[in-house]
Amino acid sequence: MTTIDHATGGLCATTRPTVMSRVMNTAVSLFRAWKHRSQFDRLGEMSDAELADIGLTRSDLRIASDLPFGLDRTAHLNAIVRNRVDACAASGCAD
């Protein structure tokens, strides 16, 4: 056996876990995106009063729906609510 044969055999052995981890990471990412998408769709089914209870408006949902495909819309909505709560706390408004 030559040095190249040993190097090639070792490369396959170390590549398999990397390929498997990439496949698993992709599967986990797709599942997470599906889960977030279904949560976002459920928000769209809520009434305006229910959305107001959690600090959102219908226009917030429209803005989030315009985000590029790869971005998490629920995280964007969470940021909107946090910003509103922070602004309200800073200005001293009441609930």
In the chain, how many domains are there?
1
- Cα 32 to Cα 6, 42, 73: the distances in Å are 40, 15, 12
Quote the domain boundaries for residue 75. 3-91
pLDDT band of residue 41 (cuts 50, 70, 90) is: confident
Question: pLDDT tens digits, residue range 42-88?
Answer: 998 999 999 999 889 999 999 998 888 778 888 899 999 999 999 98
Ramachandran region, residue 54 (left: φ > 0; alpha: ψ -120 to 50; beta: rest): alpha
pLDDT band of residue 2 (cuts 50, 70, 90) is: low
> Model-level pTM greater than 0.85?
no
